[in-house]
Amino acid sequence: MEYEHVRETDPAVADALAGEVDRQRETLTMIASENHVSEAVMEAQSSALTNKYAEGYPGSRYYGGCEYADEVEQLAIDRAKELWGAEYVNVQPHAGSQANMAVYHAALEPGDKILSLDLSHGGHLSHGHPMNFAGKVYDVEHYEVDPDTGRFDFDEIEDHASEFEPDMLVTGFSAYPREVDWERFQAIADAVDAYHLADIAHITGLVATGAHPSPVGTVDFVTGSTHKTIRAGRGGIVMAREEYGDDIDSAIIPGMQGGPLMHNVAGKAVGFGEALNPAFDDYIDQVVENAQALGDRMQEHGLSLVSGGTDTHLVLCDLRDSHPDTTGKDVEEALEETGIVLNANTVPGETRSPFVASGIRAGTPALTTRGFDAEACREVADCIARVIDAPDDEGVREEVSADVDALVDRHPLY
């Protein structure tokens, strides 16, 4: 990745771009929503399609010259249908948040009621946080996870739903390490005659291979980001039953977007194509095995995991039992100095501000992309545990930093 043209015309930006490549190479990306896409996906994303206006849909555009845009978008749609078994797919949302916006826009009126998971319990801003458009446009209440088990108390959510009578139930989460029971949530939506949106942003890849049960076919709408576990570059996607297709199409354009980011749609097509390869199933199985190895070793070090472990690509560590005076932010900052990049995260029953938080969230998708196996992830867990025990100890940070360098050298990226 030389960026030679940028270097020629704009050295300042070229330096930053090259710096970012080096940063990704030299550090361990453990932010659970991040990943490294292939160079093929990046090439598609930086293609000449960035120049093309393709308002509309394949075969029915407002402007001429869309024959290649049509080809690319149709490939993305067909591959997505194959990956997730969806009747209807729209690959135009700019990101996961816009995919959610499209579904709300298609199915709800302003002021309608949404029931979703609280952000501090693992929900997402676009599920109706007061500072987000969804919180301003709709009437939102939140359910929570049980602070003792870290899992859902479905009877309680059902009672909440029957009291609130939402027009839409939103499921799918940013920091929930366990398998989600879509059928049980669907029964709650059915009982109050609500639409059900399952936002699988984080677990698109796991759902595609069957490593996590699929909500497609059970719920009304499924949304996702395409840059997390599916590795298809930055973007969003909506899937639904055929009957909702026209409403979603027009919610996106003319409803909320102009021209689709066709270069990103090309990235999606390439990334989805890669995910249809059987090697992607092995990748996802390894992601989950790695998260379990990481979590098990963290627990052996005396750290507590929300729900006691993971079924997915991430672990959520609650520091309050083992290190009550250490915040998630303390750990995030100390680890970043060693080259391990993850994020402070709120935990169920959080008492600190979300900027400080009492937990950390760690994911294995990006490590697995660069070839980490379970044993390497146990080494990473050892590093994390040592820093959590002594976040202020510079000597420890230096030792861990050397271990990170060795791990990085053994698993080259790009």
Ligand X SMILES: *Cc1c(COP(=O)(O)O)cnc(C)c1O
Alpha helices in 150-232 (DSSP H): 154-164, 182-191, 204-209
Instruction: Work out how close the CB of 266 gets to ligand X at its nearest, in angstroms, rounded to a whole number.
Output: 18
> Of 29, 45, 90, 97, which lies in the binding site for ligand X, with binding defined by CB under 6 A?
97
Residue number, 136 or 410, with CB nearest to ligand X: 136
Task: Report whether 124 belongs to an annotated binding site.
Answer: yes
Q: Is 309 left (phi over 0), alpha (psi -120 to 50) or beta?
A: left
Task: Report whether 119 belongs to an annotated binding site.
Answer: yes
Q: Binding to ligand X by residue 202, rule CB under 6 A?
A: yes
**Candidates 40-48, 153-161, 171-179, 339-347; binding stretch for ligand X (CB under 6 A):** 171-179
Q: Which residue is nearest to ligand X (CB)?
A: 96
> Of 45, 90, 126, 310, which lies in the binding site for ligand X, with binding defined by CB under 6 A?
126
Q: Please tell me the distance from the alpha carbon of residue 37 to that of residue 320, in angstroms, as a whole number.
A: 35
Q: How many of the other CB atoms lie within 10 Å of CB of 153?
A: 15
Interaction pattern, residues 131-170, with ligand X; x per rule: CB under 6 A: ----------------------------------------
Task: Report whether 93 belongs to an annotated binding site.
Answer: no
Task: Report whether 342 belongs to an annotated binding site.
Answer: no
> Of 29, 36, 96, 264, which lies in the binding site for ligand X, with binding defined by CB under 6 A?
96
DSSP 214: -
**Closest of 135, 206, 222, 226 to residue 170, by C-alpha:** 222
- Distances from the Cα of 134 to the Cαs of 89, 100, 114, 139, 248, in angstroms? 22, 9, 9, 8, 17
Task: Report whether 65 belongs to an annotated binding site.
Answer: no
Task: Report whether 214 belongs to an annotated binding site.
Answer: no
- Residue 12, amino acid: A
Residue number, 284 or 400, with CB nearest to ligand X: 284
- Residue 300, amino acid: E
**Candidates 59-67, 70-78, 195-203, 286-294; binding stretch for ligand X (CB under 6 A):** 195-203
Q: Please tell me the distance from the alpha carbon of residue 402 to that of residue 10, in angstroms, as a whole number.
A: 34
Site residues for ligand X per CB under 6 A: 33, 95-97, 124, 126, 172-174, 199, 201-202, 225, 236
